[in-house]
Amino acid sequence: MENEGRRRFLGVCVAGATAAAAVAAGYPVFRYLAPRSGQGGGAKLVIPAGELKEGDAKFFEFAGSSAVLIKTKSGELVALSAVCTHLGCIVQWVKEKQQFLCPCHGGQFSTDGTVLGGPPPRPLAKIPLTVTEGNITIG
Ligand code: FES
């Protein structure tokens, strides 16, 4: 009788510790993969044009979400949402291939956001930009 109570108490302790460990291990992964929100997003953002070389991408927060500015190897500037259109993970820039890769399910996007492969149903959303006097204004 007493042993059964101890066993039940021990079971509750083990289950609680397991749940706490799962949350502690999973939260950093969730924060890395989930779209960010409410962190310094704004309606307009100015980036000095000199910050980006041909073939590079710069990630930033825009309107409460992750976005990316690309300068293609031909010098064209493109601003896109960095949120994958499949399930919302943040895409990564693969400079060697000049394309985006989604780390969650392998979605691939070109420099203009077009889907090249994987499960994403739509292209990455484009964000308007203008270039004046050496500054790139996003939004
Ligand atoms: S969330 Fe990007 S491919 Fe699934």
For the stretch 70-94, pLDDT in tens is 999 999 999 999 999 999 999 999 9
Rounded to whole angstroms, the Cα distance separating 21 from 8 reads 20
Distance 34 CA to ligand 1 centre (A): 11
Q: Is the CB–ligand 1 distance for residue 35 below 6 Å?
A: no
For the stretch 7-45, pLDDT in tens is 776 666 466 556 555 556 655 555 555 555 444 445 789
**pLDDT more than 90, % of the chain:** 63
Q: What is the arithmetic mean of pLDDT over 121-136?
A: 95
Distance 138 CA to ligand 1 centre (A): 25
Q: Which has the higher per-residue pLDDT, 16 or 130? A: 130
**Could you give phi then psi for residue 36, rounded to 5 degrees?**
-85, 150
Question: pLDDT value at position 2?
Answer: 67
Helix/strand/coil for 131: strand
In ligand 1, the atom with minimum distance to the C-alpha of 120 is: 3
Q: For the chain, first and last CA: distance in Å?
A: 69
Q: Which CATH number fits domain 45-138: 2.102.10.10, 1.10.10.10, 1.10.3720.10, 3.40.1360.10?
A: 2.102.10.10
Q: Quick one: CA torsion of 21, 24, 28, 29, rounded to 10 degrees?
A: 30
Question: pLDDT value at position 40?
Answer: 46
Distance 131 CA to ligand 1 centre (A): 31
Q: By CB neighbour count within 10 A (0-12 exposed, 13-18 middle, 19+ buried), where does 104 fall? A: middle
Q: Within its chain, how far is the Cα of 67 from the centroid?
A: 8
Q: What is the mean pLDDT of the chain?
A: 84
